Amino acid sequence: MSGLPHHENTTRPPGGDRVFADAEGRLWSAAPHHESEGLTVVFTCISDGRQSGRAIVVEPAMEVGNVAEDTLRAWLEAAPRIGRLT
């Protein structure tokens, strides 16, 4: 291997999205959407496409970029699955 320095990526994706692992180790993206009723967080599983997306409305004072991963996991567990409209 070459002597290239290893840099840890400490930046977040644009728009305030967060990536975190759930209790089973799957990677999820948490994307915030600011609305008048509060903050809607949309969860998308990026490591297993078979998982349904989920969404939850949280207190407007909360910011996805400032919460602990345990909080994101709790929100994910509480969020209902997004289904098809038929």
Tens digits of residue pLDDT in 1-60: 445 444 334 334 555 789 999 999 999 999 998 877 778 999 999 999 899 999 999 876
pLDDT at 62: 72
Q: Cα–Cα distance between 86 and 47 in angstroms, integer?
A: 27
3-state SS class at 76 = helix
What is the amino acid identity at position 24?
Answer: E
SS3 content of the chain, % helix, strand, coil (to 5): 20, 30, 50
